[in-house]
Structure 1
Amino acid sequence: TVLVVVDQPASIGALPLTVARDAGCQVAYLPGLAMRRIADLYPGEAKTDAKDAAVIADAARTMPHTLRTLDLADEVTAELTMLVGFDQDLAGEANRTSNRIRGLLTQFHPSLERVLGPRLDHPAVTWLLERYGSPQALRKAGRRRLVEVVRPRAPRMAERLVDDIFTALDEQTVVVPGTGTLDVIVPSLAKSLAGVHEQRRALEARIEALLEAHPLSQVLTSMPGIGVRTAAVLLATVGDASSFPTAAHLASYAGLAPATRQSGTSIHGEHAPRGGNRQLKRAMFLSAFAALHDPASRTYYDRCRARGKTHTQALLRLARHRISVLFAMLRDGTFYQPRSPRTA
């Protein structure tokens, strides 16, 4: 039997894997972290395609335990994988653009940034900044005009937002040199940010439609803290979890299995490993945070805090516990059943 191994199954390795499957070959991939560690065992610091191929071949021959199986993805899962990746690219772009706007406002008018910065995700705020990008432009437009601009997109917050804006404008009496450039830069950035937000909303609708066609979507979303985007990430990264023998294997893959650090007489306790699938780890961490409104999850979190864990450590422990629950749900095809968990 021929075994075909790649190190980038979601990019340049996709076509070779498809051809190999079509030819009846077994397929697997070598994770990047494992490949880098194995490559360190070889002499020389050169990084070439030929050396990478030799490392992959030797790993497949002498260290088969480092390989990961690759299940044939169905059309829905394949589409979800692509859309989830694109959505995360857009999320990164939105974060960068938002930070750029907040940085400019902080530089020239900190009080205004404190009002508008936390609200940049709201369409009414980006719409406003597209038209009035500087403190002078906002003041010149006047309260009445700004309320008229904001109200169609935010009826409830229009007057409150405008009041907050003018309160912030009154707090600064000096004009920082270069403030006038905001009339050019901020509207352009706000337009780009609004466009990215619109793309993400359209993409979420597409992802939601795909999820409805997947038999495990309702199983995943029955768990508190798991919405459309998180469910899509889970299906794209682990599928039905059948390739993981136990919940511990899944936790290790996600980078949520505690690792003990000790050397001689120095013991540093257990920490979350730095490796693992970053996409899955982030999704589980954020879903754990979102699940704090759930009584069972909150009880587990509070018990961890009572034992001296920090907020982040408690969330990581909650995420690890939820991995075990999630594994059982996927394995058995059952919906989430709340119960008070014991602290690990």
Structure 2
Amino acid sequence: MAAIWAGIDAGKTHHHCVAIDGSGQRLLSRRVANDEPELLELLADVLTLGETVTWGIDLADGGAALAITILLNHDQPVHYISGRAIHRASESYRGEGKTDAKDAAVIADQVRIRRDLHPLRASDGTVTDLKILTGRRTDLVADRTRTVNRLRAQLTGVFPGLERALDLTNIGPLVLLTGYQTPAAIRRIGAKRLETWLRNRHVLRADQLAGTALQASERQHTSLPGEKLTAQLVHTLAKEVMALNQLVAELDKAIEARFRDHHAFDVITSLPGLGVILGAEFLAATGGDMTAFGTADRLAGFGGVAPVPRDSGKISGNLRRPQRYNRRLQRVFYISALFSIRHCEESRQFYDRKRAEGKHHTQAVLALARRRVNVLWALLRDGRCYELTPPSAFAA
């Protein structure tokens, strides 16, 4: 028996598997439930078709998690191919326009002919927990941003001057809005009593905040339609933002505690700009296993910080961002590069040099992020922490 390639078009409740031989002929095509007994039966049937089996799948987690874990637990090689790549490749295959069976066959054939697909590996418990925790944090931060935007919109509808004066990312203004939302209400309580009210709720610089609110109230004496109902909504939304802030803070503590259990914690966080949260997101996006990428160049490409040339009639020598990359990992590289410019002299000098060469701010930050990928790769490879250059060396 020869080698076999099996492709799985993963779904939420069911998967479709197609196995092919070296000539691309289908040996098996089956729809299976996303349940352990059926998946084990499928594995056994595919293994009877050939001496070795290489698997491909179009999801790396979620509904495919059970199938992937079963395959890895049975020492089966599994490769990930994105849905976008499958869609593009399927255009060159004959047959139905779009079916699960065809997609599974395309996955199997792509695994058979390609050598650049990302292999899936069993991640350790720490990385799995960080994926869950950082994913939850991303959802909470998005909810908080939406709620703050709604709060701003409602407050602008009845008290635009106060909305302009307050920074709703700080706790003090949110506390203020849980008690007072209209110009008349703020004028009635007055600056001194409002300051005392804020201090009793442990608001920092309560005198400044009370003065700002009173100044805004003195500039608006018109009561707008729907003011009473809108004030109630502002109160509710301010409470929601404060609750989300508390949830994010608690989650940050849980992420740090779990991240510290990972053997690469000190190495990753030693790189300037790559703190606890961004470092945890880096592990969650990459799995923490750099050998899966092979080279720093492939990691940079996966993270969206490796520019590619514009070909096919485009301006020669110009560069653009890659079109296929992990947006979450790109955010980690980009934001950490921004932070490093503020806190690391080496990064600042590299950024200034790129700006002096005529690069736009974003291009300079991406260039710095690409350079930092090489540094991080070397640190993880050698298992050593980053050492900052003494400021005296730059002064000299």
- 1:159/1:22 CA distance change after superposition, 3 Å: same
| Number of residue equivalences | 337
Corresponding residue for residue 320 of structure 1? 370
Could you say which residue in structure 2 is the equivalent of 1:211? 259
Give the match for residue 260 of structure 1.
309
1:188 paired to 2:236? yes
139 and 257 in structure 1: CA distance in 2 versus 1, 3 angstrom threshold: same
CA deviation string 1:272-293 (max 9, x = no partner): 2232111100111111111112
Equivalent of 2:123, from 67, 73, 83? 73
Partner of 2:319: 270
Q: Do the aligned partners of 1:125 and 1:150 also contact (CA within 8 Å) in 2? A: no
Question: For 2:345, which of 278, 295, 306 is the aligned residue?
Answer: 295
- In structure 2, distance between residues paired with 1:147 and 1:45: 71
Match of 2:49 in 1: none
User: If the length of structure 2 is used for normalisation, what is the TM-score?
Assistant: 0.79
Q: Report the counterpart of residue 333 of structure 2 in structure 1.
A: 284
CA 75–152 in structure 1, closer or farther in 2 if over 3 Å, else same = farther
Tell me the residue number matched to 1:169. 217
> CA–CA distance in 2 between the matches of 1:42 and 1:136?
70
| 1:210–1:267 Cα change, 3 Å | same
CA distance in structure 2 between the partners assigned to 1:58 and 1:139 by the alignment: 73
Q: What is the rounded CA distance, in whole Å, between the counterparts of 2:239 and 2:92 in structure 1?
A: 50
User: Contact conserved, 2:183 with 2:221, CA < 8 A, in 1?
Assistant: no
Aligned to 1:224: 272
Superposed displacement of residue 265, structure 1:
6.7
Q: Secondary structure at the match of 2:310?
A: strand
Q: Where do residues 23-172 of structure 1 align in structure 2 (5 Å cutoff)? A: 23-42=74-93, 46-65=97-116, 67-116=117-166, 119-152=167-200, 155-172=203-220
Amino acid at match of 1:260: P
Is 1:200 the counterpart of 2:251? The answer is no
For residues 351 and 132 of structure 2, the distance between their equivalents in structure 1, rounded to whole angstroms, comes to 33
C-alpha displacement of 1:303: 1.1
Greater C-alpha radius of gyration = 2
**1 CA distance for matches of 2:185 and 2:353?**
51
CA distance, structure 2, for counterparts of residue 307 and residue 92 of structure 1: 36
Question: Relative contact order (alpha carbons < 8 A, sep ≥ 6): 1 or 2 greater?
Answer: 1
Counterpart CA distance in 1 for 2:131 and 2:145 is: 21
Correspondent of 2:381 among 331, 335, 339:
331
**How far apart in 2 are the matches of 1:154 and 1:289?**
33
Query: Shift of the alpha carbon at 1:46?
Result: 4.9
Note the C-alpha offset of 1:14.
0.7
Alignment gaps of 5+ in structure 1: none
Classify the secondary structure of the residue corresponding to 1:13. Answer: helix
Equivalent pair of 2:79/2:120 in contact (CA under 8 Å): yes
CA pair 188-268 structure 1, distance change in 2 beyond 3 A? farther
Consecutive unaligned residues of structure 2, counting only runs of 5 or more, are: 1-51, 392-396
Residue type of the alignment partner of 1:127: V
The TM-score normalised by the length of structure 1 is: 0.90
Identity %: 39
- 1:247 equivalent in structure 2: 296
1:222 shift after superposition: 0.8
Q: Distance in 1 between matches of 2:240 and 2:178?
A: 9
Q: Contact 1:3–1:26 at 8 Å: present in 2 too? A: yes
For 1:25, give the aligned amino acid.
Q
Q: CA deviation at 1:94?
A: 0.8
Q: Is the 8 A contact 1:240 1:331 kept in 2?
A: no
2:183–2:216: 8 Å Cα contact kept in structure 1? no
